[in-house]
Amino acid sequence: MNTQVCTFMLGETLFGVDVSAVQEVLRPQAMTLVPLAPPVVRGLINLRGQIITAIDLRERLGLPPAVATVPGMNLVVRLPDEILSFLVDEVGEVMNLSEDQFEDTPVTLQGAISDVITGVYKLKDRLLLLLNVTAAAKLPAESN
Amino acid sequence: MSNPADNNADIIQEFLAETRENMDMMERDLVTWEKQPGDREMLDRIFRAIHTLKGTCGFLSFPKLELVAHQAENLLSLIRDGKKEAEPKVVTVLLQVLDNVRRHLSQIERTGEEKSDVFASVLADLQALQEANPQAAPVVAVEWEEEAQGPSADNSLRVEVGLLDRLMNLVGELVLARNQIAQIGLREDDPVMKGASQKLSHITSELQSSIMKTRLQPIGNVWSKFPRLVRDAALAGGKKIRLELSGQQTELDKSIIEAVKDPLTHLIRNCIDHGIETPERRMTAGKPEEGVIRLRAFHEGGLVLVEIGDDGAGIRPELIREAAIRRGLVNMTKADTLTDHDLIQLIFVPGFSTAREVTKLSGRGVGMDVVKTNLERISGTIDVISSLGEGTLFKIKLPLTLAIIPALIVESGGGRFAIPQISLLEVIRLDPKSAREKIEGIDNIPFYRLRGRLLPLVYLNRELGLKSPKKVSDETSQMIHIVVLESHGGPFGLIVDEVRDTEEIVVKPLGRQLKSLAVFAGATIMGDGQVVLILDVTGLAQGVRSGEAVEQRNTQKRGKIEEAPKQGPTGEELLLFQIGDEGQWAVRLSEVTRLEEFNFNEIEREGVAAVVQYRGEIMPLMPLRQLLLPNGKAPRVAGLEDKLQVIVHSKDGARCGLWVDKIIDIAKEPLVLQRQKSSPGILGSMVIQQKVTQVIDIESLIKLDKARNLLEMTEVHGRN
């Protein structure tokens, strides 16, 4: 069984999302800030007349903010009851990955990352963390 | 007016439309069945159609139609049971039945009655066919004059609500696109572009209103259950109640009609259970035995107003006041400053209704907070007016539709926000000078004096945790904008940096991650494509309430200090006013309920005392000039157009008005009287704002006024 995964980067870490969940990838968009919103919510964007919440994935995973030179991309994903945009550093390619490269989330992985990762793909020279989109869409407080 | 007849007419219209549809279907089925008489399913369908017709006619009592349907059914059932062949004549006669039913329907539509002898010949045919050995039944067509077709029920069409919802969403998108194009159109110089943009704008508006209309339903649809409800509940409660309905044709969006059904039912129940008195009590009060509940709906300013009124006992503000204090909803000092109208609004506060003894005493309030919350959920508002012994009136304001609403766009802390127009009362612009004069702080909670009432203020940027805009060094260019909004706890002012236009906006819900933010009701997309948040006025008002809590603490503190013989340094608010030409006077603000203006021609006489009509009551006026100035005879002579400045004081439900010449200011000073009790009606004097000020004692003034009236009365009698 092969899985198609859309890859993206947060700092030096390679992540992937099941390609069937991805609606589109957008350049940085004009963003409306939401006062009083939880820190993971970066703002609202207008996607062809639809208002979409943008989630700062670095914040969600407890990573430090990106350096100013990284413009950031919108990875727009479709969930059963909503459409969200995850803000990531860079969007890569679509990879074909096979089942035997997959392993469950290692127990050594801790913190917010372990909550939103389904598992790990062992690539030839590095690891790819598979994002659990549904879990990542929840606020940190909800996932506890 | 009330109308079972109207409702009936609606039912008949529906019946006509439905039966015509059925007849059309049956016609097709009959023709198909004639070709394949063995088609059992087809036969069953025809049978069901006739059966339905029979049932409905029985229900609506159209006996002639019922009879013919019954006979047709009998014939069909013979065929179904195999007792009769499906011969062509059967189909011919059944088709004739159809034609006659159709004509009959048109006739019912025109006259509302059944014409006699319409079906005589088809009935004979039907009966003949049912006989074992049928004779050739003569087929005689009844002569019918061709009727001029008026607007008939045929012109309506059933559409799925889901489709309308989709259309509405699409129009929402179109409105946004139109707004975007309109902005570009403004920038462009090209006249063709301008013209096209205007045309687009026009058509979009028209399309929007047409599609909105497809979703509109008369509010009478939900009212139809009320006559029965009133009848049953009145009987159960041993009361006599008449329900009067008007404006059933007033139309509202389907979703709003559905959402408003429960609150309306609740309010009507309330009028029956608690508003209208028993016949005996009504007789003793000199009212007609039969109570009236009036339900009225009408359009006003782009909104729909629904009023539910009764001519019952009304709500006693004192009881509300007592209950509210006991429940800890307000403290005593605060309760004293509330007007009766404000007190009655407390029935909508959650918690007011929960205690049983409260509802027993007040007679109202069961679940009133739920009524209010349900109405607020669809952006509606509710107000209650009650006058003792005369009845209670609930006023509900509803938007016509939910998806597209008019809103005021404001700016604050560098962001744009939309405020739904329905909550908007007015917009005030102040230059910095008058802002300094008129905005006062009580424990850092700012208030603005709006026509004599203290309006609590909220800074939008602070509420949202946004930075205040850069201070402009040139202070004169800094205007203060106060948007006055209506909420649960009364009006409040929202201070914003800029007030922009009003616009039609399309409300979009916020994502799940932002649902917990009470201050936002949703978001919308502006003409320039930017996303703008819609403020939730109820949520914002919670910020005000916390401000009020500080104020309450403050007044509580003050209450304690007042009990002490000497005043502490905390300071007390004093209302400064002027009577006569010299000197300054003051009254403790805690004793002031309201400031009012009256026209001179509103003054009436009750014996020798001057009175005015105020909130349905007679309020005595105490001319302070006469009471306090040495030679103060009549108050300053003034033209009839001149306004009378009156300080309203209320205690234990009794009100009186202090007639002064001019209201000057509110000062916050420690009440340290330098000279005590210099003369009757005066507490003492002190220096406020570099002026010697006499602080009046209202209680002793009231006594003084009574004594003076008595004196004048005896003088009048003496002269006679």
The per-residue pLDDT for B652 is 72
Mean pLDDT of B458-482: 71
Question: B4-149: CATH homologous superfamily?
Answer: HPT domain (1.20.120.160)
Cα–Cα distance measured from residue A100 to residue A89, given in angstroms and rounded to the nearest whole number: 28
Whether B404-557 shares its CATH topology with B572-719 is answered yes
The per-residue pLDDT for A8 is 94
The per-residue pLDDT for A18 is 92
The per-residue pLDDT for B105 is 85
Asked if B511 lies within 8 A of A84 by C-beta distance, the reply is yes
B467 in contact with A at a CB cutoff of 8 Å? no
Most confident of B154-158, B264-268, B565-569: B264-268
Q: In the CATH hierarchy, which top-level class contains the domain B166-218?
A: mainly alpha
Nearest to B531 among A51, A84, A139 (CB): A51
pLDDT 10s digits, B104-118: 888 888 877 776 667
Query: Do the beta carbons of residue A53 and residue A44 sit within 8 Å?
Result: yes
Nearest CA in chain A to B174: A49
pLDDT 10s digits, B204-255: 888 988 887 888 888 888 888 888 888 888 888 888 888 898 988 888 888 8
- Structural element, H or E, at residue B101: helix B88-111
CATH match for B220-399 among 3.40.1180.10, 3.90.550.10, 3.30.565.10, 3.40.50.880:
3.30.565.10
The per-residue pLDDT for A54 is 95
The per-residue pLDDT for B665 is 79
Asked if A35 lies within 8 A of B530 by C-beta distance, the reply is no
The per-residue pLDDT for B146 is 43
A88 or B194: whose pLDDT is higher? A88
Looking at chain A, the whole-number percentage of residues with pLDDT higher than 90 is 42
Asked if A35 lies within 8 A of B523 by C-beta distance, the reply is no
The per-residue pLDDT for B138 is 43
- pLDDT above 80 (res A108): no
How many domains in chain A?
Answer: 1
Question: Which are the contacts of B717, defined by CB distance < 8 A and separation ≥ 6?
Answer: none
B163: amino acid identity, one letter: L
The per-residue pLDDT for B473 is 45
N-term to C-term CA, chain B: 55
B149 or B251: whose pLDDT is higher? B251
Cα–Cα distance measured from residue B433 to residue B426, given in angstroms and rounded to the nearest whole number: 21
Count of CB contacts below 8 A, A vs B? Answer: 63
Looking at chain B, the whole-number percentage of residues with pLDDT higher than 70 is 82
- The answer to whether domain B404-557 has CATH 2.40.50.180 is yes
Question: Which are the contacts of A90, defined by CB distance < 8 A and separation ≥ 6?
Answer: A8, A9, A70, A73
Q: What are the chain A neighbours of B529 within 8 Å (beta carbons)?
A: 30, 46
Q: What are the chain B neighbours of A86 within 8 Å (beta carbons)?
A: none
- pLDDT above 90 (res A87): yes
Mean pLDDT of B177-194: 80
Classify the phi-psi angles of A36: left when phi > 0, otherwise alpha if psi is within -120 to 50, otherwise beta: left
N-term to C-term CA, chain A: 32
Cα–Cα distance measured from residue B38 to residue B233, given in angstroms and rounded to the nearest whole number: 55
Q: What are the chain B neighbours of A40 within 8 Å (beta carbons)?
A: 513
The per-residue pLDDT for B548 is 47
The DSSP bridge partners found for residue A6 are: A17, A94
Q: What are the chain B neighbours of A37 within 8 Å (beta carbons)?
A: 513-514, 517
Q: What are the chain A neighbours of B170 within 8 Å (beta carbons)?
A: none
CATH value at residue A113: 2.40.50.180
The per-residue pLDDT for B356 is 43
Cα–Cα distance measured from residue B158 to residue B413, given in angstroms and rounded to the nearest whole number: 49
B635 confidence band (pLDDT: 50, 70, 90) = low
Nearest to A33 among B415, B513, B520 (CB): B415
The per-residue pLDDT for B148 is 45
Q: What are the chain A neighbours of B466 within 8 Å (beta carbons)?
A: 35
pLDDT 10s digits, B358-379: 333 333 444 787 888 888 777 7
- pLDDT above 50 (res A106): yes
- pLDDT above 70 (res B66): yes
CATH match for B572-719 among 2.70.98.30, 2.30.110.10, 2.60.40.10, 2.40.50.180:
2.40.50.180
The DSSP bridge partners found for residue A87 are: A56, A74
Interface of B with A in 143-202 (CB under 8 A): 173, 176-177
| CA–CA min distance B465, chain A (Å) | 7
Mean pLDDT of B160-174: 82
Domain boundaries defined on chain B: 4-149, 166-218, 220-399, 404-557, 572-719
A144 confidence band (pLDDT: 50, 70, 90) = very low
The residue whose two tokens read 């990531």 is A88
Asked if A51 lies within 8 A of B513 by C-beta distance, the reply is no
Nearest to A51 among B466, B513, B523 (CB): B523
Interface test with chain A among B176, B497, B513, by most A beta carbons within 10 Å: B513
B123 or B297: whose pLDDT is higher? B297
pLDDT 10s digits, B471-510: 544 444 578 899 999 876 678 899 998 898 888 888 888 8
Range of the domain at A50: 2-143
